[in-house]
Amino acid sequence: MLAWVKAHTAGCALASVVKAVQQQSFTWAQQAPRYARGLGFALEHCMHRSFLPWALAVVWLAACGEAPPPTATAPVAETASATAASAEGDASTKLPAAPATEAAIRAEDLAAQIKIVASDEFAGRQPGGPGERKTVGYLSREFARLGLKPGNGDSYVQQVPMVEIVSEATGPLAITYADGTGDSLAAGDEAVIQTLREDPVSAVSDSQLVFVGFGVNAPELNWNDYAGIDVKGKTVVMLVNDPGFETGDPELFRGKAMTYYGRWTYKYEEALRQGAAAALIVHDDAGAAYGWEVVRNGFSGAEFDLPHKDGDPQPLAIRGWLTGAAAQRVFAHLGHDYASLRKAANQPGFKALPLDARISMGVQSRVRRAQSANVVGLLPGSEHPDEVVIFTAHWDHLGRNFQMPKDGIFNGAIDNATGVAALLELAEAFAKSPTPPKRSLLFLSVTLEESGLLGSKYYVQNPVMPLKDTVATLNMDALQVIGKTRDVVVIGFGNSELEDILKKHAEAQGRIIVPEPTPENGFYYRSDHFNFAIAGVPSLYPKNGIDHVEKGEAYGRQVASDYVATAYHKPADEFDPNWDLSGNVQDTELLYAVAREIADGDQWPNWYEGTEFKSARDAMRKQ
């Protein structure tokens, strides 16, 4: 490997490391409080998340003080060694020494990588701060050291532009009824609203309300809540989750297991496709899987999105939530029984209901632009280099809180230094294998997962290799440290044929694959692989099991519970040299076996029939 590095010192790979260290934007470094507060709905994007601890973390981080000014960018250099030399006096850019890793997947290697990436040197890996510069520089250098080529042209870096929008309601939501009376919904207590439009003011005035049930249009399920009604320019009101969850009928959608149609993000997207001006979701604790306080806190801070391109449809003028009590009051005034409407919305053939009421509401917004970076390494295939299997693991975390009296760094050892370490181990194992994979492998460490999966979203919109030629995506996020287990948890169990491959190789390890314990929470839709899934690319998100080979399920559950209670999204999420990483080795070896079969075969795994992503994949493969 040393010979390889020396041979390429003047080549594009090492020059790309220089770019990786230098090309970062630091406009967020002074915005740590707003960044942290704005992550309120990031709980909705992270599949492994536990709702109450995350809500508490959001409130806690919202009080963070201003971060210090960003460190000056290092001078331009021509080689990786020159970059290291120029950073000698700058602790924010000096990279740690490379660990002594081997081609075999080993606990020692995982430990070494986790220890580095989760160290205080990386300052919590907050996008936009010095921690980003060091993280991106380190991952780029590691990709080069391990034998990967730059994945984005001649660079390991893919710049990710983003926009931060802080919306505040201009006043209460004003409802006017056809009988001449009116109502007012208090912002915060009864309703929360925001916009993703990049305008200083966004509003709807005298917009007719239309109840559209669950707001679902699912052709493959023969379900369309918008059938027979035109909602252009109107405000749609809809229920959270989907009919299967509401009824528990396993033949309806997927029963208690949430589908994408139950996600609040989908509901806003579909309302926009239908031409609505605004969309309001009626909250209930069971359907959302979290209380009103989570919604209120999440919508009270910054929201992050990718900049909208010229020619793209404008986002909804207003999107938001209503409390169940507020919705019931409005429906009651109009002579409609809320419980009866909910029951009707759960029945096939439901018809949307125009309401004899109009609403006026608006927000004022502050808009800020910035950028972060994905890190991309490529191992070209020996026979089919134009076909690719992608590994994903997000590198970002929450940075640091300067107001905390002692340790204010959110190191994110589990979340997600474990995933990054597995990504690097897999890269080394494949790159140093005497038998190169026949299809290409792309190792993608994405940014901005914690603020809405934006790094992976940007990649999917701007792939370095076409999505139609992307065979599969394998995601690694917050891998618990439990030890060896008899099982493998599959988040989004029952989605794709990738599970058949996983099952075969898990059985070879003497393990079984099992579904997540709470499929009704829709965790499959809350991590980076999901952006690939919605585009049609079959995506697998396996997690470590909980049934410890010696201590049983109770032990595994307790480890996971203790992590949530004491370390999740807290400074206590730190590397522990006493960790038993044997289970992480087991899981990484399993991912290697799955990827090896896909990369060396000619199969194109697809989604199972009836899943919401299959039609997109089928259309993609016909291109």
Give the domain CATH number at 333: 3.50.30.30
Q: Same structural domain for residues 362 and 403?
A: no
Quick one: average pLDDT of 323-329? 97
Same domain, 359 and 243: yes
What pLDDT, on a 0 to 100 scale, did the predictor assign at position 310?
A: 85
Q: Is residue 520 part of a domain?
A: yes
- Residue 515 pLDDT more than 70? yes
Does this model's pTM top 0.85?
Answer: no
Of 255-264, 505-514, 588-597, the poorest mean pLDDT is in 255-264
pLDDT band at 248 (very low <50, low <70, confident <90, very high): confident
Structure-block tokens of residue 175: 């409802």
Residue 498 lies in a domain: yes
156 in any annotated domain: no
Q: Which residues contact 279 (CB under 8 A, 6 or more apart)?
A: 215, 235, 236, 237, 238, 267, 268, 271, 272, 316, 318, 319, 320
Strands of 91-188, DSSP E: 149-150, 157-169, 173-177, 182-185
Residues 403 and 439 in one domain: yes
Domain boundary among 326, 345, 367: 367
Give the whole-angstrom CA distance, residue 160 versus residue 179: 51
pLDDT band at residue 256 under the 50/70/90 scheme? confident
Q: Which of 367, 396, 431 is the last residue of a domain?
A: 367
546, 524: one domain: yes
Residue 314 lies in a domain: yes
593 in a domain, yes or no? yes
With a pLDDT cut of 70, the percent of the chain lying above it is: 85
- Same structural domain, 582 and 486: yes
Sequence-distant (≥ 6) Cβ neighbours of residue 344 within 8 angstroms = 213, 350
Q: What is the mean pLDDT of residues 376-386?
A: 98
Q: Based on the domain organization, do 341 and 412 belong to the same domain? A: no
What per-residue confidence (pLDDT) applies to 521? Answer: 78
Say what the pLDDT of residue 450 is. Answer: 87
What pLDDT sits at residue 91?
Answer: 54
d(Cα 411, Cα 564) in Å, to the nearest integer? 15
Q: What is the pLDDT of residue 192?
A: 96
Task: Say whether 477 sits in a helix, a strand or coil.
Answer: coil
- The answer to whether residue 192 is domain-embedded is yes
Token reading at 477: 């996020």
Q: Which domain holds residue 320?
A: 165-367
For residue 396, what is the domain's CATH number?
Answer: 3.40.630.10
Residue 99 lies in a domain: no
Residues 399 and 357 in one domain: no
Confidence band for 312, pLDDT divided at 50, 70 and 90: confident
For the chain, the domain total comes to: 2
Residues 441 and 516 in one domain: yes
20 found inside a domain:
no
Q: Helix crossing, 107-117 with 130-146: angle to 10°?
A: 150
Asked if 400 and 359 sit in the same domain, the reply is no
Q: What is the structure's pLDDT at 623?
A: 84
Mean pLDDT of the chain: 86
Residues 391 and 357 in one domain: no
Listed residues 341, 367, 393: the one ending a domain: 367
Question: Tell me: the pLDDT tens digits for 114-149?
Answer: 999 999 999 999 998 889 999 999 999 999 999 999
Please give the share of the chain, as a percent, with pLDDT higher than 90.
71
